[in-house]
Amino acid sequence: MHCQARIADTAGSEANGTKMAEILVLYYSRGGSVARLARQIARGVDEVPDMRARLRTLPSVSAVTQPLAPSVPEAGAPYLERAELAECAGLILGSPTRFGNMAAPVKHFLDGLGTEWANGTLAGKPAAVFTSTASMHGGQESTLLSMQVPLLHHGCLIVGIPFTEPALSHTRSGGTPYGASHVAGAADDSQLTEEEAQLARALGRRLADIAYRLGRP
């Protein structure tokens, strides 16, 4: 079957002689909030047996008249290599909210995926999204929904957070049915609330569990 072959083809990692399928947790973060969510999501992925998170970032974009950034990030997760899109069993994509939408580096990345779209590289793979905003009503849901649209064009199976997660009904900050989120306020170093962290882990777990089930013989 197609999905079976996909997991079998996934580069993955080895643990105790067992092939581990990998979920790509891919994000852009300038101030660190989206990166904090990404780490919780990765923890959730790793809680699923035989599944592992692969954390990757996206570089900033600059106009042609500006100097280019170093080809390797100064800290944190490495930049994505395009081949990793084919290798992953699922994708979880994160972006800060910019004027109620995804940040330019994430849109730039998506706009460059014509070859992957034509080849169906992501078709049939589960995908989810996450974001961070400064303010409570600053556009989390519009950002999350707009990030899902191009993933649907790629044939991804969109995964959200169900209300069977108790924290979704209790949160007084981030966490939405459309994806994980954080309300960062004005400070760059704001920590996730317990509910935001729980819901981010739940999203990672849920996506990894669905990828695992899709790949089962």
Least CB distance to ligand FMN at residue 193 (A): 14
Q: Which residue has the tokens 């592992």?
A: 52
Least CB distance to ligand FMN at residue 32 (A): 5
Least CB distance to ligand FMN at residue 87 (A): 25
User: What is the rounded CA–CA span in Å between residue 202 and residue 9?
Assistant: 26
For 165, half-sphere exposure in the C-beta direction (CA atoms, 13 angstrom radius) is: 24
34 counts as binding ligand FMN under rule CB under 6 A? yes
- Which one of 3, 11, 19, 32 is in contact with ligand FMN (CB under 6 A)? 32
| Residues near ligand FMN (CB under 6 A), total | 20
211, exposed or middle or buried, with CB in 10 Å at 0-12, 13-18, 19+? Answer: buried
Degrees to nearest 5, angle at CA 19 with 114 and 126 = 40
For 48, half-sphere exposure in the C-beta direction (CA atoms, 13 angstrom radius) is: 24
138 counts as binding ligand FMN under rule CB under 6 A? yes
- Which one of 20, 123, 134, 145 is in contact with ligand FMN (CB under 6 A)? 134
- Which one of 31, 59, 76, 155 is in contact with ligand FMN (CB under 6 A)? 31
Looking at the Cβ atoms of 34 and 51, the one nearer to ligand FMN is: 34
98 counts as binding ligand FMN under rule CB under 6 A? yes
Least CB distance to ligand FMN at residue 78 (A): 17
160 counts as binding ligand FMN under rule CB under 6 A? no
- Which one of 4, 62, 78, 99 is in contact with ligand FMN (CB under 6 A)? 99
**H or E segment at 118?**
helix 114-119
191 counts as binding ligand FMN under rule CB under 6 A? no
Ranges of beta strands (E only) in the chain are 13-15, 18-27, 51-57, 90-98, 101-102, 126-133, 157-158, 180-183
The amino acid at residue 124 is G
Q: Which residues bind ligand FMN (CB under 6 A)?
A: 29-35, 96-100, 132-135, 138-139, 184, 188
